[in-house]
Amino acid sequence: MRFLIGPFLESPEALRVDCERSSAQRKVWIRLAFEAEDKGRVYGRWGHNIQAIRTVLSTIAGVAGESVYLDIYEDSPPQSRPRAAANRPSPKRPTRSRRSSPPRRLVRRDGQ
């Protein structure tokens, strides 16, 4: 698991992996925890990275005749996040109308 997730992490030593296997149901649960700052890199744009990782795991499990479930947890507790940024209101952007000038009249070339 570390070889799949590790390259995406800024600090790979912070990765924690927990596996649980149910031989009766032929299921494997994998739980990952890493620092919150690495979440964007692990998930990737539109979740492409994590989806590729899930596909690899599912394929490997399918060959072994099992199913796999991947859960991801943030490693850092919510108290460690900066509170000032969370309490600051988001900057308002001035709204612009789509049409700043009145609509133009269409004039036909045949004079009408």
Rounded to whole angstroms, the Cα distance separating 74 from 5 reads: 14
Q: Give residue-wise pLDDT tens across range 83-98.
A: 444 444 555 555 555 5
Ordered structural domains, the chain, with CATH: 2-77 (3.30.300.20)
Is residue 16 a contact partner of residue 75, using CB atoms and an 8 Å limit?
yes
**Mean of all residue pLDDT scores within the chain:** 79
What is the pTM assigned to this prediction? Answer: 0.61
Closest residue by Cα to residue 15 from 73, 77, 81, 78: 73
Residue spans of beta strands (DSSP E) within 16-111:
16-22, 27-34, 67-74
Is residue 58 a contact partner of residue 65, using CB atoms and an 8 Å limit?
no
For the chain, 112 residues long, the average pLDDT of each consecutive 10-residue run is 89 91 90 91 92 95 94 62 46 53 64 56
